[in-house]
Amino acid sequence: MYEDPLERIEREERERKEKKGPRTVATVLAIIAAALALVLGYLLYQRNTLVHELEDEKAELASQMVDLQNDFNSLNTDYENINHQLDTSREQVAMLIEKLNKTEATNRAKIRQYEKELGTLRAIMKGYIVQIDSLNTLNKKLTADAAAARREAAQSRMENEVLAQQVENLSSQVNAGKVLKARAISLAGYYSNDKAGDRHSRVRYMVANLSLVENSLADHGPVRVYVRVKDPEGVLLMNTESAEFTVNGVTLQSTASREVDYEGGEVDMSIYINDTGEFIKGVYTLEVYTNQALLGRAECMLR
């Protein structure tokens, strides 16, 4: 069949255009799809990168919480009130770690909240440290003050003991100084004519002579002096006037006694030993007492 050349050209052109349209659309669509794939890939990369960063931040935050937990666990004190507060803070840290572990890293609002709570717990931790250091410093000072006070008390006690000993010594010296003393103590036999003699067969009585020494410290007033005379066989001479007396808590039997008025000056005195029976040959011993002490001894030889 004959085809007009001009019509043929128009037909071919028309067919060419009809074939070119779908190819162009496919090319454009392919380009768009490629662009979208690139954008999606970039977005996925960005998302994965962000997720990794958030995971790292969460891991770092968890590590900080564990470090703070270890710090709380290592913090010990002797103060009961602070220990109670520390237990509460340890529980708060443990609960914060548990909440963090249950939270997705992408939940940035929660993660930021946990960061703030961690900061608060850190501040509390620092406050405990400052408080404990202050208390320890105060405790050391109080301990040092107490030790110094004990030393001062011990020193004062020692000084008081020394002073008390000195006072006691002085009191003893004063008391010793107040005790009457005697001198010139003697014992002699006398005959019936009141003359001294040493023939035992003629002696009718004996006389103890002594002088109470001057003593301004001694108590003034009546003083009774007691004598004990023993014969050569050690038998105490006694008569109806013999009486008991006490010296330093010990009760003794006297041979004779006499009371004098002592006013601090020297007093000469004699005490007669009468009606004690016959005298025998030998040495007679004399002891002179007051209620305070033994004043002295003397002997007398009868032949």
pLDDT of residue 160: 67
Q: What's the order of all strands across the beta sheet hosting 221-230? A: 256-262, 221-230, 282-289, 294-302
- Own/partner contacts of 45-52, CB < 8 Å, gap of 24 or more, are 51/105, 51/106
Instruction: Say if residue 118's pLDDT is above 50.
Output: yes
Residue among 287, 204, 301 at smallest CA distance from 252: 287
Mean pLDDT of the chain: 84
pLDDT of residue 21: 60
Instruction: Say if residue 213's pLDDT is above 80.
Output: yes
**What are 2-24's pLDDT values in tens digits?**
667 777 777 877 777 776 666 66
Instruction: Say if residue 174's pLDDT is above 70.
Output: no
pLDDT of residue 2: 61
> What is the pLDDT averaged over residues 182-208?
95
CA-based max dimension of the chain: 218
Domain ranges of the chain: 1-178, 182-302
pLDDT of residue 170: 44
Q: Which amino acid is at 157?
A: R
- Parallel, antiparallel or unpaired: strands 205-212 and 282-289: unpaired
pLDDT of residue 14: 79
**What are 30-40's pLDDT values in tens digits?**
788 777 777 77
pLDDT of residue 203: 96
Residue whose structure tokens are 């270890």: 70
Fold of 182-302: Immunoglobulin-like (2.60.40)
Instruction: Say if residue 173's pLDDT is above 50.
Output: no
3-class DSSP state of 200: coil
**What are 236-249's pLDDT values in tens digits?**
999 988 999 999 89
- Name the region of 124 (left: φ>0; alpha: ψ -120 to 50; beta: rest): alpha
Lowest mean pLDDT segment, chosen from 37-46, 114-123, 211-220 = 37-46
Percent of the chain's residues with pLDDT above 70: 87
Query: Could you tell me the pTM of the whole model?
Result: 0.47
**What are 62-115's pLDDT values in tens digits?**
898 899 889 888 887 877 888 888 888 888 889 889 888 888 878 888 888 988
d(CA 235, CA 273): 14
pLDDT of residue 53: 80
Cβ atoms 222, 261 nearer than 8 A: yes
